[in-house]
Amino acid sequence: MGGKILVLEDEDAIRSFIRVNLKKQMFEIVEASSGEEALEKLDDTFDIALLDVMLPGIDGFEVCRQAREKFPRLGIIMLTAKGLEQNKIEGLELGADDYIVKPFSPKELLARINALQRRLNVKELNVEEEQGGNITSGIFTILQNERKLLKRDKEIELTPIEFALVKYFMENANKAIHRDEILQNVWGYNYVGDFKIVDVNIRRIRQKIEDDPSNPRYIEKVWGYGYRWWGGEE
């Protein structure tokens, strides 16, 4: 599939492991061993950033926060240590699209990257998107070719995963959707059972689209099951 990826990892062996396996898949790799170096190298030519969390100086969380502010369409995957649940949640809340728990296999790494890249690549949209059709649900409209969400004609800036989530909800408006179904259709690989990534991303979306995020109107939680999109009235 290819693409340009920043790899932020301070351990040489892990960084080399990632570089070797991704170059086999024709990715262009730019390496950084510190948060400071990563922020210097990041620009709008990158498709994805792989960010290690635990770093001396500027850590992966701060790099994620700054990268998300500067490059809202950048795909971000956090590299976290096994068992550090709070690291996963914090990274997602700061704008990461996904996370990988160390140690990980080349197969898992590629699956996560390819799934995220499909969300980033406008050329790999479905037939309806290729025909340029927009999606409207109440006061919301998705401009598919431009990858934009409008609320009452005002654009709401979304990350790639947030856009994919809203699009999926709008295509299934007024339907209760199980978290497993959301994971499979939005993340696109076997992520069954890890519901926090869904919950945190929906919490982020609510902060952007809801008039009162503490009392959500457009994305309703279906307790013990998943979520339902209402979309609002005209």
Domain with CATH 3.40.50.2300 in the chain: 3-123
Domain with CATH 1.10.10.10 in the chain: 125-229
Residue 190: predicted pLDDT:
60
Instruction: Give yes or no for residue 113 having a pLDDT over 70.
Output: yes
Read off the DSSP letter of residue 225: T
The string of DSSP letters for 159-190 reads -HHHHHHHHHHHHTTT-EEEHHHHIIIII-S-
Q: What kind of fold does domain 125-229 have according to CATH?
A: Arc Repressor Mutant, subunit A (1.10.10)
pLDDT in tens, 183-222: 888 887 665 457 788 999 999 999 999 999 999 999 999 9
| 104 phi and psi angles, rounded to 5 deg | -130, 155
pTM of the model: 0.80
* pLDDT, average across residues 5-21: 96
CA angle 7, 34, 115 (to 5 degrees): 20
Q: How are strands ordered across the β-sheet holding 98-102?
A: 27-32, 3-8, 48-52, 75-81, 98-102
* pLDDT, average across residues 47-76: 94
User: Percent of the chain having pLDDT more than 90?
Assistant: 62
* pLDDT, average across residues 122-137: 58
Top CATH class of 3-123 equals alpha beta
Residue 39: predicted pLDDT:
97
Q: How are strands ordered across the β-sheet holding 226-229?
A: 176-178, 226-229, 219-222
